[in-house]
Amino acid sequence: MVKTWTVGYWPIPFRGNFVKVILEYAGEEYDVMETSEVIQLKTAAVSAQPVPFIGPPFLLHNESGFAISQTAAIVEYLVRKFGFVPESPELAALAQKAVLDCIDVLVEITRHNGNQMWTRDAWSEFRGPGKRLDQCLGVLEELAKRHGLKEEHSTGFFLGTEKMSAADFAVYALFEQLARCMPPLIHDLERAAPRVWKLCQRIGENPKLQAFSNAQSQRWGRSFCSGQIEASIFSMIEQDEKAS
C-alpha cells in the first residue's frame, strides 16, 4: 500500500535525517525511495521531476502529488503541517535560523559537500577548542542558552517553547548523526554545546526516534555522508585519536 509520504534521498543519514526525524516523531507513514529512482529523478529533465530540483532530499505527498525540495523548506513545511511552529513570529524565525545553522555544519564538515578533501592543515583550523566547528556549535549553544536552556537539570526545549520546534528537530538530526557516526566528536559536542547536546540526548529517548536511530545503525553502520569526503573526515578523526 502506498504510504502518506515518500522521501527521496541517498542511503545515508545526512540531510535526509532532518526530514525523517520529523516524520518519525510525528508518527507519519512514509516510504523511502529506491536509490536508483532518486538517481533517475535527479538526472531527469526538470519537466519530468516531481518538483524541479538540483539535489535531494525531496518529499512527496502521495495522495495530492505535492512535492517539495530543499531541506529547510521541507522542514518548515512539515513543522507547520504538524503544529510544531512557535506562535511568536520571532521564535518561529529563530527556529528556522537554527535549522539553517545546522545544515551549514553539514556543509562545513564535508567541505561543501565533498568539493575538496580534508588536509591536516585545513582540519586543524576546523576541529579543536575554539576552532570553526566549535564556533558553529557555539552559535547554537548560545541561542539555546538565551532562551533558557540549562546545562544542569536539563528540561524544556531549544527555544523555551512548550513543545518541539524546528530547532529541536534540527539539532537532534545533526547531533545524533555526528555522535553516532563519529563517536569521538561527542567530545566536541560536550565542549562546545553542552546544553544542546544534553537536549539532544533527552530528545533521543523518544522511543520512535530511538528505533529510527537503531535502524539506521543496523542498515548503514556509521555511514554519514558517504563517498571520498566521508573517508577523508573519518581519516582525520582517526589521526586525531591516535595523536591524543
Site for its own copies in 57-116 (CB under 8 A): 66, 68-70, 72-74, 76-77, 80-81, 89-90, 92-94, 96-97, 99-101, 104, 111-112, 115-116
Compute the distance between CA of residue 5 and CA of residue 29 in angstroms, rounded to an integer. 6
Give the phi and the psi of residue 152 in degrees, each rounded to 5.
-95, 150
Q: C-alpha cell of 45?
A: 529533465
DSSP letter assigned to residue 185 = G
Residue with Cβ nearer its own copies (110 or 177): 110
Residue with Cβ nearer its own copies (125 or 241): 125
Residue with Cβ nearer its own copies (127 or 180): 127
Number of residues that bind its own copies (CB under 8 A): 42
Asked whether 233 and 224 are in contact (CB, 8 A), the reply is: yes
Residue with Cβ nearer its own copies (71 or 216): 71
Note whether 52 binds its own copies by CB under 8 A: yes
Residue with Cβ nearer its own copies (192 or 209): 192
Least distance from C-beta 95 to its own copies, angstroms?
A: 8
Least distance from C-beta 214 to its own copies, angstroms?
A: 30
Asked whether 188 and 173 are in contact (CB, 8 A), the reply is: no
Q: Give the full edge-to-edge strand order of the sheet including 58-61.
A: 30-32, 5-8, 58-61, 67-69
Compute the distance between CA of residue 50 and CA of residue 144 in angstroms, rounded to an integer. 37
Least distance from C-beta 79 to its own copies, angstroms?
A: 11
Site for its own copies in 118-177 (CB under 8 A): 135-136, 138-143, 146
Compute the distance between CA of residue 32 and CA of residue 59 in angstroms, rounded to an integer. 10
Note whether 211 binds its own copies by CB under 8 A: no
Least distance from C-beta 244 to its own copies, angstroms?
A: 26
Give the phi and the psi of residue 31 in degrees, each rounded to 5.
-100, 155
Least distance from C-beta 123 to its own copies, angstroms?
A: 15
Compute the distance between CA of residue 18 and CA of residue 59 in angstroms, rounded to an integer. 12
Asked whether 70 and 16 are in contact (CB, 8 A), the reply is: no
Note whether 39 binds its own copies by CB under 8 A: no
Residue with Cβ nearer its own copies (47 or 218): 47
Give the phi and the psi of residue 30 in degrees, each rounded to 5.
-145, 150
Compute the distance between CA of residue 228 and CA of residue 243 in angstroms, rounded to an integer. 23
Interaction site with its own copies (CB under 8 A):
46-47, 49, 51-54, 66, 68-70, 72-74, 76-77, 80-81, 89-90, 92-94, 96-97, 99-101, 104, 111-112, 115-116, 135-136, 138-143, 146
